[in-house]
Amino acid sequence: MNISRRILKLKRRMTSIYKKIMDGLTLKKILLILFGAMICTFGIHSIHQRTNITEGGAIGLMLFIGHWLKISPAYITPVLDIACYLLAFKFLGGRFIKISIISTLSVSGFYKIWELFPPMLPDLSTHPLIAAVLGGIFVGIGVGLIVQQGGSSGGDDALALTISHISHWKLSRSYLFTDIVVLILSLTYIPVMHIVFSLITVTVSSHLIDWIKEY
């Protein structure tokens, strides 16, 4: 009898935990997060990485710290992401962190998948303006879908959402603020023209993210 009660109590506890985990999550939401992660990482892998167009936000800050302090991105990235997520947890709550964990893992997974295949787009290194606009479109649509579902693709999204929440700025303005600050710092080691094209791509992506989030 005691064993039966313990099993019943365990089932209730597991059901309670499952409900807490799935709270705010639907199949449609998860599929849109996966689709957004697929689009975003395709753009970064096929365009940005091949054309050396840098990023703003946490990614750009990681590159900046890595260049000047000679610290591996493998160590910088988790530290920056954890710091941004802790800040986001304080202002945006646990549900945001839960969805962000799913989306961050999705982004990481799809990026690994794209690395298994040869480039699927022509090399746009000789056409940096096209690369900047097209890359911004891929990242903007992909991250926009993730943010629309209440998550983020990494620490930079979490930081921009937190700034937007605190300051009541539009999300695109928050993204541009963090991106411009980091791009200005990046002038210490990246040619001006590369920064100009990076500014174009973050402007395109930030406005697309804002538009999709509000759609």
- So what's the pLDDT on residue 3? 67
Q: Look up residue 159 and give its DSSP letter.
A: H
Per-residue pLDDT tens over the stretch 44-91 = 888 887 887 766 777 678 778 877 888 765 577 678 878 888 888 888
Residue 202 token pair: 């973050």
Going by C-alpha positions, the residue among 48, 10, 24, 13 that lies closest to residue 149 is 24
Phi-psi region of 150 (alpha: psi -120 to 50; beta: other; left: phi over 0): left
11/30 Cα distance (integer angstroms) = 25
- Say which residues have a Cβ less than 8 Å from residue 142's Cβ, sequence separation at least 6: 36, 37, 38, 39, 40, 41, 42, 43, 153
- So what's the pLDDT on residue 191? 82
Going by C-alpha positions, the residue among 40, 22, 44, 23 that lies closest to residue 32 is 40
**Predicted TM-score (pTM) of this structure:** 0.81
Per-residue pLDDT tens over the stretch 103-159 = 888 888 888 888 888 888 898 988 999 999 999 999 899 989 999 998 887 788 888
Q: Look up residue 52 and give its DSSP letter.
A: T
